[in-house]
Structure 1
Amino acid sequence: MVEITSLISEYFIPRFKRILLFAGILLCSPAFFSQDLLKQKPGKKMIEILHADDGFDEIEKHTGKRLTRLLGNVSMKQENIFMTCDSAWFYPGINQVKAYSRIHMYQADTLHLYGDYLFYDGASETASVDGNVELIDKETHLFTQSVKYDVANKIARYNTGGRITNSDNTLTSIIGIYYVSQNLFHFKDSVNIVNPDYVMTADTMDYNTKTETAFFTGPSEMEGDSIYLYCEKGWYDTKNDISRIWKNAVIDNRQQVIRGDSLYYDGLKGYGLAFRNTSITDTTNNIIVKGDYAWYYKSPERFMVTDKALFIQVADEDSLFLHADTISAVTRSDSAMKDYRLMRAFHGCRIYSKDIQAKCDSLSYSFRDSVIRMYIAPVIWSEENQLVSDSIALFTKNRQADRMELYSSAFVTSQVDDLRFNQIKGRSLTGFFKDNELYKINVEGNGETVYYLIDGDEIVGVNQAKCARIEIFVEAGKITEINEYQNPEGVIDPPSKVNPETLRLEGFSWFDLLRPKKMTDIFRK
C-alpha cells in the first residue's frame, strides 16, 4: 500500500519528469483554466485523495480535461463524505470523480451507499450511483439499480424501481425519494408494503423509517387475515398497529365493516373511533348501525353510536329501522356462559318497518332471544291498530314479528272515523303475528271494549262490554271478531244514542300524529 503523498517515488520520478514540461505548458494555458479550473464553484472544498495503490496524470482526449487515474484500493473524501472503490478518474480542475467497481460512499458513519459505478460532482455535492445499488441508513436498506444522491441536502432518488427493508416491512415502488434527515421516503407508482400480517398497496405513499409509519396520499388498501383497510388520505403506524384514515375510509376487521368520513383504529387494543357519516355493518347478523360519532371495541364486542343514530335490521322484504339519540351494544354471557349481544337505545326512540311502527323513550334488543323491550310510554302501530301500555316486549323470529306482550294498562285503539274509535283495554295483552301481520289479540284481566258495529259503510250500533278475558281476531288490519269470556256484561246501543266524543275508555289516547308513516319520519322530533 502506498500513500498518494509517497507516490512520487523513485519509480514515478522518471515518468513525472517526462510529462512535467507538457503539464507545465498546459497549466500555463489560458484555455486550460477557462475550461477546467474556473468551473470550480467558490466556497466548495476540493476532493481529497487519501489513498491509491497507483496513479497516473493525463489529459482526457475527447474533452481535453486534466485527470488523475487512480488504481487499487482508492479512497477519497470531501468534508464529511468518504468514497472508496477499486479505481477512479479524478478531475481536479472541475472537482469531479468517476469511480468504478466496489463503490462505497458513506456520510457521518450513518448513511452508506454501495454500487458498481459512481459519478460525484464536488462542486454541486451530488452523486450518481449505478449497478447493484444498496443504500443503508441505520435499520433501513434500499436496493435498486440507480440512485441520485444530493449530499448537501441528504436526499436520495431512484426511478427504476426499488425495494426497501425496514424492520418487518418490505416496501417496493417504481419511483422513490428518501429524505435522509427526516427519515422519510416518498413513494410513487405501484407502491407495496409487505408485512407478515398484511399487504399494503397504493399509487402514492410516504413512509417514515424511524416511526415505521405509512402516510396515504391517494387510493390505498391494506389487507391481512384479520383486517382490510381502504382510504384515500391518512396514516398507519405499522409498529404500533394504529391507523387514522379519512376520505372514503373503510375498516373491515372480519367481524364488522366500519365506515366514516374519518376513522381511528388501534389494532392492538381492538378499539376504534368514527366521525361523521359513520356506519358499523355486521354482515353475520345483517345489521347496520349509523350515526355521526361512534366508538367500538372488538373484544369483548361493544359499541356506541350517537348523533343521528340509526339501527337497521336488514331483511329481504321489510327491513326494520330504529332511530334514537344514542344506540349502544355490549356483550353478555348467559347461564351456559354463551356470549350474546345486548343492544340498547336511549331517548326519543322511533321504529319504522313496512308492517310495524313504534315509539318509546328507551328500548333494548337481546340477540339471545330476539326480543325488543320498550320502556316509558311505548306505542306500537300495526296497520290500523294502535297498542300502548306501560312496557312492551316484541318477540321476533327470522327477522319478523312473532308475538308481542303488553304489560300493565294495555290499550288497543283503531279509528272508525274522525270521531269514533274502537277501543279494547285490559291488565295485559298478547298479540300474535303471521307473516309480520297482526292476526289475533288476547286480553287478560279487567277487559273492557268499545266496538262499533258496521254494516257495509253504515254504523249500526256500538257495543260496550266488560269481562275477564277477551279474544280478538284481526284481518287486513281490521277487527273481524271479538269473543268475551268469564262473566261478560255489556250493551249494544244505536249509534245515535251516545255522543262519540264522550265514548272513551279510561286511558284513551290517539297518537297518530307521532306515527312514522315513512322511514325518514323516525328522525322527526
Structure 2
Amino acid sequence: MKFQRIIFLSLLLISTFSLYGQRNGVKYGSEGYSEVVNRGADRFTRLVKNVWFDIKEKDTYITGDSALYYDKQGIMIVFGDVRIKKGDSVNITAHRLNYYMKDNKAELRNNVVYNDNRIRLTTNYLDYFTNSEDARFYNGGTIVDGETTLKAQDAFVINAENLIKFYEDVSLKSPEYDLETDTLFYDQITKIATTFGPTQTIMQDGEIIDAEEGGRFYTDSKQVNYIDGKITTENYEIFGDDLFFDDIRQESRAKGNVRVISEEDNIIILGDIATTKKDSGITKIWGNPVMKQLVEGDTLYMTADTLISIDSKIDSLSRLLAYKNVKIFKTDMQGVADSMAYMMSDSVIFLYRDPILWNDGNQLTADTISMEMKNGKLNKMHMKNRAFTVNKDTISNYNQIKGRDMTAFFKDDQMDRIMVYGNGESIYFALDEKTNTVTGMNKILCSNMKIQFVDGQMNDITFYKDPEGKFIPPHEISEPETRLKDFKWQIDRKPDLNEVLGKYAPKPVTTEEEVVQDSLKKTKPESTQLKKELKNRAQNEN
C-alpha cells in the first residue's frame, strides 16, 4: 500500500509541476495541470493555468490561461488572457485564439489588440497569418498610426507591401481633416491614404471636399489629392477632375473641367485650373475661364485670361477681378477691356485700359468705365478721361459725343440720357422723319452737355456754358468734318456669345445623324435600350 501511495504522489507531482511536452515541432506546457482526453480522432490535451506554446519554426510564442491542443490536427484553442508574440515586433492580445498549424493562421476573438511597432489595431475579430505576417479584421475595427486614426468594417494588413486595405464605412481622422469613404488603401511607409469611390473630407476649418472617384491623402505632408470631386468653402463649391489640398500652404487646387459655383451670387465660373487660398480668401481660375451670372431673366457672360475672386468678411471688399483680354456679353450689352473689377456687394463693374462697350447702336469708350447694376439691369455708367460715345443712326451716320468725363443713364436696359462734363464736343446728324434723309449736321463745342435718347437713338441735345456750334447743310458736309478727333468705330471687336464662351460654346447640330450621335453621347452607358431605339429610328428615317 505504501508503494502504491508513493507512485500516486509521484505522478501527482509530475502532473502539477512538470507539465511539458513537444509534438510536431511545437513545445508546450503550463503551470497547472494537464490531461489527455482520448476521443479517437478528436484526441486532445487540456492545459490549465498559464499555458504556453513555442513554435520555433515560425518564431511564434503563444500564452493564455488555458488551452486545448489537438496535436494530430495541429490545432490550438487558447482561452483567457491570450497573447501572441511574433519575432520582436508583432504583439497581439485577445480573449480567445484558434490557431491552425497547417494554415499558419491565428483566429483571435474579443477585445483584440494588435501592435507591430508601427500601428495599433483594435477589433473583436482578427485573423493573423504567421507565415506572411498579414492580418485581417472584420465586423469593425480601428487602426492608429501616429496622429492618424482609421476605422472600417473590414481591413487587410498586407505586410509584404506595407499596405492596409480598408473596406466599408471607412473613416480617417487626422489633426487637419476627417474623411469618410467606402474603400481606402493606406501605405505605412509613405503615409499616403488612397480612396476609391465617393469620398467626403471635412477640413479643420469646416471646408468640405467631395470626390466621386476618391483621391490621395498625404498624411505626413498634410496634402490631399482627389479625383473628380467638389470643394465646398464658405462662399463657393469648386468642382474638378483632379482636386488637391495642401494644409501647410492652406491652398486648394482643382484641375480639369473646373466649375466654381456661388449660389448666393448666382455665379458659375468654368475653367481648366482653379486655386483657393484660405488665409487670403483668394480664388484664382485660369485656362479658358468663363463666368456666368444670372441677372433678372438674362445671363451676364465674361471671359479673360485669368479670373480672381477675393472674398472678405467685409462685404464691400469682396470682388471679382479679370486680367487680360476681358470680354463681356449680355443680350443688351457687350464689351472688351484689358482688365476688370466687379464689386459684388454693390454690383459695380470697373473696366480698365481702353475699354469699349456696346449698347444697342451705341459704342462707348474711355480710359476707365464703371457700370452700376440695379436689380440685375444696367442702371448707370461712368466714363472717366477721354470719354467718347458713338451712335450709329438708322442710315449709318455716326453721331458722336466727346468729353473729359461722361455719365450715361439707362432705363429698361436702353440708353436714356448722357451727361458730359468738360471739353464737350458733338456731331449730330438731323434726319427728316418722313423721308429718313439727312437734313444737315450739327457740330458743337461747349463745356457741358446733356443728350437725350429715345428707343436707343439720339433725340435731343442741351448745351451748357457758352456753346459754339454750326449747322452744316447736306450739300456742304464733307467727310473730314463728319468725324471728331480720335473717332474709331470698332464694331469688329464687339464679341458675340460664342466668342466669349470659347470652348464651352455649344456645337451646332445640323443633320439627323448628328442629332442621333449627340443623343447617344448624352445617354448613360447603362441605357443600352435607348441607344438601340435611337439607332433604329435613324436607320428607318434614312
Instruction: Classify the TM-score, shorter chain.
Output: 0.7 to 0.9
For residues 228-239 of structure 1, what are the structure 2 equivalents within 5 Å?
228-231=208-211, 232-238=213-219
Identity of aligned residues (%): 24
Q: Which amino acid aligns with 2:285?
A: V
CA gap 1:416/1:399 in 2 versus in 1, 3 angstroms: closer
> In 1, distance between residues paired with 2:141 and 2:363?
70
> In 1, distance between residues paired with 2:69 and 2:432?
113
Check if 1:463 corresponds to 2:441: yes
Gaps of 5+ in 1: 1-7, 16-36, 41-45
> In 1, distance between residues paired with 2:141 and 2:151?
6
What do residues 368-413 of structure 1 show as CA deviations (whole Å, max 9, x unaligned)?
Answer: 7654332333110112211123332323455543322223332222
Q: Tell me if structure 1 keeps the 8 A contact 2:401–2:424.
A: no
> In 2, distance between residues paired with 1:339 and 1:508?
37
CA gap 1:223/1:460 in 2 versus in 1, 3 angstroms: same
The one of 246, 254, 273 equivalent to 2:227 is 246
Identify the residue that residue 295 of structure 2 maps to in structure 1. Answer: 315
What do residues 243-284 of structure 1 show as CA deviations (whole Å, max 9, x unaligned)?
Answer: 11112x111132332222212112353212222222333445
Q: Tell me if structure 2 keeps the 8 A contact 1:423–1:451.
A: no
Q: Tell me if structure 1 keeps the 8 A contact 2:429–2:438.
A: no
> In 2, distance between residues paired with 1:365 and 1:14?
94
Gaps of 5+ in 2: 1-7, 16-22, 504-542
SS in 1 for 2:442: strand
SS in 2 for 1:458: coil
Check if 1:361 corresponds to 2:338: yes
How far off its partner does 1:170 sit?
5.0
Q: Tell me if structure 2 keeps the 8 A contact 1:353–1:519.
A: no
Q: Tell me if structure 2 keeps the 8 A contact 1:234–1:243.
A: yes
How far off its partner does 1:359 sit?
0.4
The one of 269, 274, 277 equivalent to 2:249 is 269
Q: Which amino acid aligns with 1:509?
A: K
Q: Tell me if structure 1 keeps the 8 A contact 2:431–2:438.
A: yes
Q: Tell me if structure 1 keeps the 8 A contact 2:400–2:484.
A: yes
Q: Tell me if structure 2 keeps the 8 A contact 1:414–1:423.
A: yes
SS in 1 for 2:500: helix
TM-score normalised by L of structure 2: 0.78
> In 1, distance between residues paired with 2:385 and 2:482?
22
Q: Which amino acid aligns with 1:384?
A: G
Between 1:324-333 and 1:485-494, the stretch displaced more is 324-333
Identify the residue that residue 33 of structure 1 maps to in structure 2. Answer: none
Q: Which amino acid aligns with 1:360?
A: A
What do residues 446-478 of structure 1 show as CA deviations (whole Å, max 9, x unaligned)?
Answer: 312132414156224232221313311223322
SS in 2 for 1:123: coil
Tell me which protein shows more strand as a share of its residues.
1
> In 2, distance between residues paired with 1:93 and 1:183?
35
Q: Tell me if structure 1 keeps the 8 A contact 2:77–2:97.
A: yes
CA gap 1:142/1:482 in 2 versus in 1, 3 angstroms: same
> In 2, distance between residues paired with 1:473 and 1:311?
33
> In 1, distance between residues paired with 2:419 and 2:373?
18
> In 2, distance between residues paired with 1:148 and 1:14?
36
Identify the residue that residue 443 of structure 1 maps to in structure 2. Answer: 420
SS in 1 for 2:482: coil
For residues 269-418 of structure 1, what are the structure 2 equivalents within 5 Å?
269-329=249-309, 340-341=317-318, 343-367=320-344, 370-397=347-374, 399-416=376-393
Q: Which amino acid aligns with 2:224?
A: S
Q: Tell me if structure 2 keeps the 8 A contact 1:322–1:352.
A: yes
Check if 1:478 corresponds to 2:457: yes
What do residues 64-84 of structure 1 show as CA deviations (whole Å, max 9, x unaligned)?
Answer: 255433221111122321111
Q: Which amino acid aligns with 1:82?
A: Y
Q: Which amino acid aligns with 2:201?
A: M
SS in 2 for 1:11: helix
Q: Which amino acid aligns with 1:243?
A: V
What do residues 201-246 of structure 1 show as CA deviations (whole Å, max 9, x unaligned)?
Answer: 2221223567665321111112466121111221234565421111
Identify the residue that residue 433 of structure 1 maps to in structure 2. Answer: 410
Identify the residue that residue 162 of structure 1 maps to in structure 2. Answer: 141
How far off its partner does 1:313 sit?
4.1
Q: Tell me if structure 1 keeps the 8 A contact 2:120–2:144.
A: yes
Q: Which amino acid aligns with 2:54?
A: K
Check if 1:70 corresponds to 2:47: yes
Identify the residue that residue 28 of structure 1 maps to in structure 2. Answer: none
Identify the residue that residue 505 of structure 1 maps to in structure 2. Answer: 484
> In 1, distance between residues paired with 2:321 and 2:392?
32
Q: Which amino acid aligns with 1:466?
A: I
Q: Which amino acid aligns with 2:380?
A: R
Identify the residue that residue 11 of structure 2 maps to in structure 1. Answer: 11
> In 2, distance between residues paired with 1:222 and 1:332?
24
How far off its partner does 1:515 sit?
1.4
Identify the residue that residue 183 of structure 2 maps to in structure 1. Answer: 204
SS in 1 for 2:354: coil
Q: Which amino acid aligns with 1:244?
A: N
Check if 1:260 corresponds to 2:240: yes
> In 1, distance between residues paired with 2:116 and 2:49?
27
> In 2, distance between residues paired with 1:457 and 1:434?
29
Q: Which amino acid aligns with 1:69?
A: R
SS in 1 for 2:201: strand
> In 1, distance between residues paired with 2:387 and 2:214?
54
> In 1, distance between residues paired with 2:350 and 2:13?
106
> In 1, distance between residues paired with 2:295 and 2:178?
35
How far off its partner does 1:350 sit?
0.4
> In 2, distance between residues paired with 1:466 and 1:387?
19
SS in 2 for 1:455: coil
The one of 65, 70, 78 equivalent to 1:99 is 78
> In 1, distance between residues paired with 2:182 and 2:118?
25
Identify the residue that residue 89 of structure 2 maps to in structure 1. Answer: 110
TM-score normalised by L of structure 1: 0.80
What do residues 319-348 of structure 1 show as CA deviations (whole Å, max 9, x unaligned)?
Answer: 322211122355799xxx997145432221
SS in 2 for 1:513: helix
What do residues 33-89 of structure 1 show as CA deviations (whole Å, max 9, x unaligned)?
Answer: xxxx9xx7xxxxx2222544222345443xx25543322111112232111112222
Check if 1:421 corresponds to 2:401: no
The one of 82, 87, 91 equivalent to 2:61 is 82
CA gap 1:77/1:475 in 2 versus in 1, 3 angstroms: farther
Between 1:354-363 and 1:511-520, the stretch displaced more is 511-520
What do residues 148-197 of structure 1 show as CA deviations (whole Å, max 9, x unaligned)?
Answer: 21121121113333344555655433322123465543122222345687
SS in 2 for 1:226: coil
